[in-house]
Structures are given as C-alpha cells and as structure tokens.
C-alpha cells in the first residue's frame, strides 16, 4: 500500500468517526435536562379556635301571657323602644369552639325588663303591668357541610333551656291583683347556618333553629351583615326573631320577640 493510499484511508476513517459522533450528539442535545420539581406544600394541620361574641338585642315582646285565673290570657305588645327604656340589665353573648369541621355553638340571653307604663290589651277587662325576667341558653354541636372560600354551610343539633319569671299586676280598680309565676323547660333543637363572603372583609350570615319538647314549638332566626377588621376582630349587625309557645297549666308564654341586633366578636 502506498503512503498516499494510507493517508486516504485514515482520512476516510476520521470522517466516519466524526459523522457517528455528530449523529449521536444531535439527538442528545434535543433531550431536555431533568428538573427537580418543588414538592407541593403540606396542608396546614387543623387547630382549635374559639370565637366569643357580645351583642345587644333590642327586642320587643308580642304575644299572650297568662294572668290570674279565671281571667283570660292578656294579649301584650311592647315595642323594643319601650324595652330599652325599661331595661334593668342583662347578658347577651355567644361562643363557638371549632376544630377542623367540628363545631360547638353556645348562645345565652339573660335579661330583666320592668316597663313603667300600664298596657290595656284589647278586649281585656283591666290594665296590666308586666315585669319579665328570662334566661335562655342554647348549646349545640355542629358540623361544617361545605367549607369554601366563598361560602360555608353548617348543620347543628342541640338543646335550648328556658327559665321564665313573669310578674303581672292586674289593675282592677280600686284593687291591684298581682301574680308571679316561673317556669323552666328544655327543648331539643336543630339548625343551620349560611355564611357568604361578599368581599375580603364584608360577609353576610344567617342562622336559624327550630325545636320542641317542653314547649309546643319554638323557632329562632337571625340574619345580618358583618365586617372583619383583621384576623381577630369583627363587628356585625342584623335582625333577630324568636317565637316560643309554651303552656303548662295556668302558665302561658306564647310570645314573639324580635328586634335589631348589634355586636362584636373576637377569635382566639
């Protein structure tokens, strides 16, 4: 083999190797390099929270209250403006323990009113002055059925206890007859609550309960708007109505309480 021929063979071999290297390098360049994707964030562990609320319910009273037998039950209507003027004191508040979707809800109303004026119910043979003291307490367990950033739905079941003390002074001129009677009873209740997040801070909410047991029936509904100042403090305003029909012997409390509500709440 001549030197010229040997050089030609070496050149051809070099070209073949270069072609092979180029053919394999090109596809390798098309393969993207593997990336380490970031791990998804772990869900936050549920924690126990407590929300406490204090509110004022400027409620009036409309209904039938039993007076001295054999006199008939008196039909009484006292507006919330009169109740506020003659409000002797009271406590109104609510609380809620929450863990994940599980809830414990409490509501307490304790009040004493003593209107100074005498009312004359239609068709009644005398004037009536009413002093009314009451304690109403609700305890209910709940579960969050829907938990969405835009809205939530909760269901409740529990009990509501009543302690009523009504003193009625019947003006039968020239005498005044006085009847003071008290009753305590407990109802089983079920309820639901809806909360709508209208903006980042503004929300609408409604909650209602129905029940029976010691009473013939009862219902309690609240609806209103709230404003959340920060993660802890909120204020709310709305309207609440509660109807209770309880009868036991000569004691009758068949009344509707309703009026505006204004309150604040704190979450811990």
Does residue 180 sit within a domain?
A: yes
Does residue 77 sit within a domain?
A: yes
- pTM (two decimals): 0.74
Q: What is the pLDDT of residue 12?
A: 53
Does residue 30 sit within a domain?
A: no
Does residue 42 sit within a domain?
A: no
Does residue 103 sit within a domain?
A: yes
Going from the C-alpha of 96 to that of each of 108, 142, 225, the distances in angstroms are 12, 10, 18
Torsion on CA atoms 222, 227, 230, 234, rounded to nearest 10: -40
Helices (H) and strands (E) in the chain, counts: 2, 12
Does residue 36 sit within a domain?
A: no
For the chain, the domain total comes to: 1
Task: Check whether 74 has a pLDDT greater than 70.
Answer: no
Q: Residue 119 belongs to a domain with what CATH number? A: 2.40.128.90
Question: How confident is the model over 215-235, as pLDDT tens digits?
Answer: 999 999 999 999 999 999 999
Q: Of the candidates 48, 52, 93, which has an alpha carbon nearest to the alpha carbon of residue 266?
A: 52
Half-sphere exposure for 91 (CA within 13 Å, toward CB): 8
Does residue 85 sit within a domain?
A: yes
Mention every residue, 6+ apart, whose C-beta is less than 8 A from residue 97. Answer: 48, 49, 50, 103, 104
Question: How confident is the model over 168-214, as pLDDT tens digits?
Answer: 666 666 666 666 778 899 999 999 999 999 999 999 999 999 999 99
Task: Check whether 159 has a pLDDT greater than 80.
Answer: yes
- Other C-beta atoms closer than 10 Å to the C-beta of 174 total 5
Range of the domain at 157: 48-267
């Amino acid at each position: 083999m001549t030197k010229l021929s040997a050089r030609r063979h070496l050149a051809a071999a070099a070209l073949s190797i270069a072609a092979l290297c180029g053919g394999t390098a090109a596809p390798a360049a098309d393969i993207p390099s593997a990336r380490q994707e970031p791990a998804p964030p772990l869900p936050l562990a549920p924690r126990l929270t407590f929300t406490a609320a204090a509110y004022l319910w400027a409620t009036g009273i409309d209904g039938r209250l039993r007076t001295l037998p054999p006199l008939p039950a008196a039909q009484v209507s006292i507006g919330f403006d009169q109740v506020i003027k003659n409000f002797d004191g009271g406590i109104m508040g609510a609380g809620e323990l929450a863990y994940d979707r599980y809830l414990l809800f409490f509501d307490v109303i304790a009040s004493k009113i003593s209107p100074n004026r005498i009312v004359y119910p239609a068709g009644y043979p005398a004037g009536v002055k009413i002093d009314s003291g009451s304690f109403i307490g609700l305890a209910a367990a709940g579960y969050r059925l829907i938990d969405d950033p835009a809205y939530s739905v909760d269901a409740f079941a529990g009990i509501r206890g009543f302690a009523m003390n009504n003193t009625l002074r019947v003006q039968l001129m020239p005498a005044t007859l006085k009847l003071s009677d008290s009753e305590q009873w407990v109802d089983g209740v079920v309820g639901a609550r809806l909360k709508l997040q209208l903006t980042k801070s503004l929300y609408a909410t409604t909650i209602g309960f129905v029940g029976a047991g010691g009473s013939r029936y009862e219902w309690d509904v609240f609806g209103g708007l709230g404003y959340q100042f920060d993660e802890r403090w909120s204020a709310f305003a709305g309207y609440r109505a509660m109807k209770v029909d309880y009868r036991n012997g000569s004691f009758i409390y068949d009344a509707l309480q309703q009026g505006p509500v204004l309150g604040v709440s704190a979450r811990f």
